C-alpha cells in the first residue's frame, strides 16, 4: 500500500512539474534540476525515455538554446510527447557526478537515456530546432555513433549514410575526423549541391575557404542556390567566409607584419567578382585591417573618414575608430580630423539625447581630453 501511494505521489509530482513548465510557453517542458532518482522514477512512471540538457550557468550556447530554440512550439510538440525532459546544471548538486558518469566534457551536452537511465546517445553543441529534431530522430531510429561506426568500418559509403555519419561525428566532438571525411565526400561535387540537401548542409559546415572550388561555385551560382535554399542563410555564409580571411595574408616577422600583397589583391579581386551581401562593409573592414597591420593610423583614419562621409556610423563604431587612431602615431592633421568627428557627434547627441546614446557623452568627452591633454 505504501509503495503504491509513493508511486502515485511521484507520478502526480511529475505531472505537476511538467505542467508548470509548459505554462511558461509553447516550447519544451523541462524538469528543472530534479534529483536523479526522482527523474528515473518519473520516466518509468511515464514509460518514456529521458532527454537531459547538461548545462552550466556561464555557457553562452546553453543560454541560446533555452531562449531561442527550446521555446519553439514545433520542438515542444516533438519532444514533450516522446521524452521526459530535464535540465541539469553540471556544476551543482548531482551535476558533477553525472558529468563524470556520462563523460560530459563540453556544454551544452544532450543525453538521450532509456527510462532506466542507460545512455543511448549523446550530442554536443547548440543547433537549430530542425537540427535538434534531426539528431533526435537519428537516436530514436538507432542511428547512434556506435552503430554508424560499425557500418562505416564494414564498408558502407553511400552518400546518405556518409552525411549522417559525418554529422554524428561532429556532434560527438570528433570534428577533425568529420572535417576530413566531409572534404573527401564533397570533392568534385559542385553541381550535386543543388540537388542534395545533405551535401549542401556539409558545405555550410565545412567549406570555410574563399578560394575553395565549392565555395567559388556556390558564389558564382548564388541565385540558383537562393532559389533552392534559404537565401539569407547563404548570404550570411558568404559574408562570414569573406570576413574571416584577410588576415591570412599577413605574416609576423619580429615586431612587424609582412604583407602578401599579391595574395591580398587576388583576395579583394575575387571578393568583388560577384554580388556579395554587405560587400562594402566587408571591404571596409578588410582595408582597415590592412592599415592596422601596417600600423599606418593616418591611412586608417582616411579610410574611416571616407566611410563616415558615405554612411551612418554607430556610436560604438565611431568611438572605437577614434580611440584606436588616437592611441596611434598620427599627424596633427589626422588628430584634427578625428577631433572633428567626435565634436560633431557630441553636439548631435546633446541636441537629441536618448536612452541609447546618452552614455557616449562621457565617453566622447574623455576622448577629446585625451586628444588634447593639458600641459
pLDDT of residue 105: 92
Catalytic, 62? Answer yes
pLDDT of residue 30: 97
In DSSP notation, 28-72 reads --EEES--HHHHHHHHHHHT--EEEEEE-TT-HHHHHIIIIITT-
Grid cell, residue 123, equals: 550530442
SS3 259: strand
pLDDT of residue 3: 52
**How do the domains of the chain map onto residue ranges?**
2-128, 143-206, 213-295, 305-375
Which residues contact residue 259 at a Cβ distance below 8 angstroms, ignoring those fewer than 6 apart? 249, 250, 290, 293, 294
Rounded Cα distance, 363 and 353, in Å: 14
Residue of 15, 54, 59, 304 with catalytic role: 59
Count of CB atoms situated within 10 Å of the CB of 368: 16
Give the predicted TM-score (pTM) of the model.
0.71
Read off the pLDDT of residues 274-322 as tens digits, 9 standing for 90 and up.
889 999 999 999 999 999 998 999 999 999 999 999 888 999 999 999 9
Beta strands in the chain (DSSP E): 30-32, 50-55, 84-89, 109-113, 119-124, 250-253, 256-259
Instruction: Name the CATH superfamily, with its identifier, for domain 2-128.
Output: Glutaredoxin (3.40.30.10)
Find out whether 172 and 111 touch, Cβ atoms under 8 Å.
no
Phi, psi of 342 (to 5 degrees): -65, -45
pLDDT of residue 12: 44
Residue of 15, 54, 62, 85 with catalytic role: 62
pLDDT of residue 162: 96
Instruction: Report, as ranges of residue numbers, the positions in the chain whose pLDDT lies below 50.
Output: 1, 4-23, 375
Amino acid at each position: 500500500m505504501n509503495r503504491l501511494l509513493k508511486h502515485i505521489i511521484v507520478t502526480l509530482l511529475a505531472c505537476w512539474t511538467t505542467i508548470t513548465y509548459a505554462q511558461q510557453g509553447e516550447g519544451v517542458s523541462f524538469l528543472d534540476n530534479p534529483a536523479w532518482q526522482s527523474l528515473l522514477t518519473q520516466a518509468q512512471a511515464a514509460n518514456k525515455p529521458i532527454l537531459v540538457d547538461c548545462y552550466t550557468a556561464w555557457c553562452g550556447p546553453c543560454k541560446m538554446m533555452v531562449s531561442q530554440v527550446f521555446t519553439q512550439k514545433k520542438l515542444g510538440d516533438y519532444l514533450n510527447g516522446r521524452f521526459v525532459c530535464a535540465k541539469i546544471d553540471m556544476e551543482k548538486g548531482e551535476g558533477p557526478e553525472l558529468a563524470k558518469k556520462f563523460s560530459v566534457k563540453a556544454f551544452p551536452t544532450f543525453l538521450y537515456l532509456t527510462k532506466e537511465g542507460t545512455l543511448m546517445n549523446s550530442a554536443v553543441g547548440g543547433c537549430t530546432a530542425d537540427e535538434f529534431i534531426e539528431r533526435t530522430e537519428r537516436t530514436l531510429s538507432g542511428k547512434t555513433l556506435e552503430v554508424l561506426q560499425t557500418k562505416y568500418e564494414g564498408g558502407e559509403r553511400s552518400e546518405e549514410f556518409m552525411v549522417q555519419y559525418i554529422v554524428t561525428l561532429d556532434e560527438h566532438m570528433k570534428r577533425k575526423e568529420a572535417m576530413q571525411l566531409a572534404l573527401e565526400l564533397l570533392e568534385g561535387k559542385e553541381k550535386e549541391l543543388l540537388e542534395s540537401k545533405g551535401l549542401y548542409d556539409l558545405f555550410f559546415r565545412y567549406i570555410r575557404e574563399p578560394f575553395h572550388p565549392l565555395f567559388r561555385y556556390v558564389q558564382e551560382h548564388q541565385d540558383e542556390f537562393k532559389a533552392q535554399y534559404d537565401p539569407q542563410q547563404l548570404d550570411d555564409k558568404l559574408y562570414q567566409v569573406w570576413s574571416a580571411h584577410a588576415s591570412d595574408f599577413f605574416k609576423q616577422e619580429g615586431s612587424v607584419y609582412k604583407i602578401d600583397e599579391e595574395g591580398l589583391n587576388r583576395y579583394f579581386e575575387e571578393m568583388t567578382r560577384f554580388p556579395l551581401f554587405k560587400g562594402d562593409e566587408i571591404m571596409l573592414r578588410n582595408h582597415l585591417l590592412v592599415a592596422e597591420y601596417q600600423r599606418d593610423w593616418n591611412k586608417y583614419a582616411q579610410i574611416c573618414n571616407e566611410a563616415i562621409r558615405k554612411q551612418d556610423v554607430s556610436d560604438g563604431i565611431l568611438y572605437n575608430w577614434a580611440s584606436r587612431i588616437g592611441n596611434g602615431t598620427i599627424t596633427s592633421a589626422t588628430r584634427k580630423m578625428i577631433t572633428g568627428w567626435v565634436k560633431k557627434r557630441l553636439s548631435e547627441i546633446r541636441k537629441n539625447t536618448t536612452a541609447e546614446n546618452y552614455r557616449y557623452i562621457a565617453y566622447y568627452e574623455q576622448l577629446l581630453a585625451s586628444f588634447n591633454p593639458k600641459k
